[in-house]
Structure 1
Amino acid sequence: MSARIGKRDASSWLPLAATIAMIPIRLQLRNFMCYRDDVPPLVLDSLHVACLCGENGAGKSALLDAITWALWGKARADSDDDLIALGRQEMEVELVFDVAGDRYRVVRKRERGAGKKAGKSLLELEVATSAPVRPEPVEGPGAAQGFRAITGNNTRETQQKLIALLHLDYETFVNSAFLLQGRADAFTVKSAGDRKQVLAEILGLGYYDRLERRARDQAGVRRADRLALQGALESIEAELARRPAYEQRAAQARESLAQREGEAQAASAELDRLRAAKQALDQQAASLKELRRRNDEAHRDLERLEQQAATLDHEIAAFEAVAREAKAITAGYTLFVDARERKDRLDEAARAYVEQSERVASLEREIAAARAKIERDESVL
């Protein structure tokens, strides 16, 4: 059994909504009207045209009611509780169907109310996570594939998702593709406005309204995009108009860069020269430090020699006092000669000390002059 709303021909004049077909694949009933909980599933996947036949009261119409109740929550009964099998407290209908190449599963349940307690209804909608497959001979379709829940936050939201999938509500369905028993003239007895509404739903005229709204929205977006692109283009053109100035500035920058690079090279060479001069001065400073150390040693030696000279002077005086005695004179003379020689050595050491001091002073003056020149060169750089 197939509830096809429209059929696309070679001209393809019908809107997309009018060409969508809902293909029932598998129907499972539990405690729905005359069907209890021991009913095997009804597999319809391999059928193109089906005929339901049987005696009155066999449950032919109940199968069709199960499909409409699963999809829209409506059937011939006045209330959902009237659809629950006699003596049962709950019922469930599961329908697997294909729409636009995708497979879905809808499960609708109803629990009968007790006393003042209202009954409970449950609606679940799922979509297959893989492409539709051929049903198994016993278990039926869906056994070889999984489903992912797309149920809404409440029953009303889930029902709206179903209607959006089918592009068809219950009233349009029972006035077009499916005629209820005793209501074959339901369409003809409607008012002109109601018939027009039903035909609009059947032909999918609302699709054109949606297209118009989408076209207006897209036009607004395109206009905004065009204005944005136009502004961007004007900005780019303005930048291109300033390209000669940018190129001139770039040439000046390159020339300035070359000049600065030459100056940097000269400064680098001067820096190398100053570093070499500083290294030489550092070496001279080290030499001066060594000379000062030697000078200090010579000064200490001189003081020691002067002390020795004073001692010798006292000895000479003593020797002179006894010079009258020959032996004393001879001995004293010998001592005097020795003292004289020692004094000469001391005088030579004193002269060496004076020369060293003068050399140290000269080196200090040279170092001071070199440092002053370095400071002048650094201030110029």
Structure 2
Amino acid sequence: MIPLAKPYLTKEEAQAAYDTILTGWITQGPKVQEFEEKFASYTGASYAVAVSNCTTALHLAMIVAGVSTGDEVICPSMSYIATANAIKYVGAVPVFAEVLPETYNLDPVDVQRKITQKTKAILIVHQIGLPADIDAFAALCQKNNLILIEDAACAIGSAYKGKKIGSHSDLVCFSFHPRKVISTGDGGMITTSRKDFYKRLKLLRQHGMSISDRVRHEAKSLVFEDHVEVGYNYRMTDIQAAVGIKQLDKLDWIVSERRKIAMAYNNAFSEIPFLQLPFENDGYFSNYQSYCVYLKRSSPLSRNDLMQLLLDSGIASRRGVMNAHRETAYAKDAEGLSLPISEDLQDNTIILPLFIPMGKDEINYVIDTLIGALKSNVASEAI
């Protein structure tokens, strides 16, 4: 079976975890600080705050942005459900907007239509690694006195107009889940260039404790901490951070290799009239966290039938990105909501295998199997 994805972890990461375990400092400590500093430097942000996962990153971002009960936050429904959940965590209301059919990212025009007096923030998602139009949303936020938050769970290593994702706005949230481009097993990061946000994020991730464990441990005189506000246990461990440091060192190479696979897919599928391929305009640089194709209505096979044929051939695939408003948890809130583009994309897209290292034989097998499945269901001259 060719898997959909798998993390690229080597003996270097295993050794880093091993060495960290032997130091005796395995929770949030010096390796976390090192990882944060290197991550901030890589993205071009002033600060980075490591947390337990991207969902907790989004939750803390909502808090420091001042989003609270009764506020509205505009976001895509077409995203993993954690995007909308983080808004709910602070008592606010997710307002689902439509996406663009070419990029799967939020449509600035529809977002503008949905701004009301209750709107507090816009939460954009860089879907499957392709940056959203950050400038357009930054302009909307400036015009309407809103906060811009970026869900960059899939976008580590991606770039927008020559700058790495993580450097464009004040709250950018990343994921290190195993399906992401680099992984720490699980984990997250928030980048910001606002010192006040940085200080509060560090406070909130560790129970609102005024003095960290490390500061207390290294103190030469008695130090007693205070818990200055209700916080959370959203810490990253030093074991994870040690792995993350090694992963970050390889990130640009990993992205380069992923793009080579994506280009091989693009070249092979470009003449197939039934497929809409990933879109990447000038100034937008994708890490290809996922490779997603859209089956046009002219396709001789339905999305599900094609996925089953791939599975029968030993190739894993996944349906396109979910729509939160179609999930049971949001059915009542989203009653009567229609997002035809988002729904169509969910129903007619397939995510194909893409991972490092993926051998040429595996890449060619995926290509040949998919094209063969389509050819066998239509007259050859139609291809």
**TM-score bracket for the superposition, by shorter chain length:** under 0.3
Instruction: Identify which of structures 1 and 2 has the higher relative contact order when contacts are C-alpha pairs closer than 8 Å and 6+ apart.
Output: 2
**Pair member with larger Rg:** 1
TM-score by structure 2 length?
0.23
- Structure with bigger helix share is 1
